[in-house]
Amino acid sequence: LQDNVEFSDLALVITDEQHRFGVRQREKLMEKGEAPHVLAMSATPIPRTLALVLYGDMDLSIMDELPANRLPIKNCVVGTDYRPQAYRFMKDQIEKGRQVYIICPMVEEKEEVALESVVMYSEQLKEIFPAGITIECLHGKMKPKEKNEVMQRFIEGTTDILVSTTVIEVGIDVPNATVMMIENAERFGLAQLHQLRGRVGRGKEQSYCILMYGKESKEGKERLSILAGSNDGFEIAREDLKLRGQGDFFGVMQSGDKLFSLADIYEDAPVLKAANEEAKNYAFDEVTMFYKKNRRLVEKLNSYMGNVSL
C-alpha cells in the first residue's frame, strides 16, 4: 500500500499468498492500524513463518481436505533423457481431450532471456508435436490484452499446450489441464513448485506433474524428492524449513542459517513451545519478583498480546 493510504480504524489485515510478501511489506500494512488482528494464508508457509508457528507466536489452522471429486496429483522426478517419453505422454493426454502446461524457468536474471527461451521452446515443440496440436506461449512481457487472449484460448480449450514462465503461478483455474511439466525444476524453490503444481488437479480427472531436472545437485534433487513425495503444502513447508533454516525472527531474512546455539527449532519445537508458555506464565504472575519490578511493562505487554491475534 502507498504511504498516502490511511485507514480510519484498521482492525483486521488478511494476507493471501503470504509467502509472496516480504517482512517489511507486511509490517508496513500492519503499521497502518493500532495493533490489528492478522490472518495470513499460504499453501506453503515460508520458513520464517512456519518457525514462528512452531515457536508458539502464531495460531494455526490447517485445511488439508481436497475439494469434492478431486484426486491427488501424481508426481515424478526425471532427467532430460526422459523427454521423449514425456512428450508421448502429453500427446496421449491431449488425444483424450486434456490440456498441458509446460513451465520454463528464468534462465538468467534478465526477463528478456526468459521470454526468448519460452518463445523459442514453443516453436521447437511445434516441430515435435503433430500439426493438429495447438501450442501457444505466455510470458510477463506480453501486453495485458495479448496475455488475456492467450489465456482465454487455453481456458476455452482451443490451445492444447501452453508454454509459460511462472506468470501462471497463481489465479489460473483450468480444470481440463491435467499435465504440467516443469523444465529445470531444480532451479525453483519448494513453495513455488508447489504453487505451480496447483494449476493442475483442479478437475475430476487424474492429473500429473513431471519435474524435469537439467542439472543434478544434491540439494536440488532433495527438494524435488520432497515435492514428489507429498501433495501436502504444510508438510512441504516443514521440509523447506529443515533445508533452508528459519531466517531471522527480528529482521527481514525469511530463510537462512539457524540462529540457536543449542536448540533446533524444528526438532525441539515442543520444548520451545512449552518454554514459551512457562515464560509467559512467570512474567504475568503477580506473585513473581519479575512482575513486581516490571509491572507497567508487563501490563502493557499483556494488553498488547490480548489485542493482537496472529
pLDDT tens profile 222-244: 889 989 999 888 788 777 777 76
Structural domains of the chain sorted by starting position, each given as residue range(s) with its CATH number in brackets: 12-63+246-307 (no CATH), 74-230 (3.40.50.300)
Bridge partners (DSSP) listed for residue 75 = 209
Strands 135-138 and 99-103, by their bridges, are: unpaired
User: Could you report the per-residue pLDDT of 168-222, keeping only the tens digit for each?
Assistant: 987 789 999 999 999 999 988 888 899 899 999 999 999 999 999 987 777 788 8
Spatial separation of the C-alpha atoms in residues 124 and 128, rounded to whole Å? 7
pTM of the model: 0.72
Average pLDDT over residues 2-11: 81
* 120-170 pLDDT tens trace: 899 999 999 999 999 999 988 889 999 999 999 999 999 999 999 999 987
pLDDT tens profile 46-105: 666 666 666 556 677 777 777 888 999 999 999 999 999 999 999 999 999 999 999 998
Contact present, 141 and 90 (Cβ < 8 Å): no
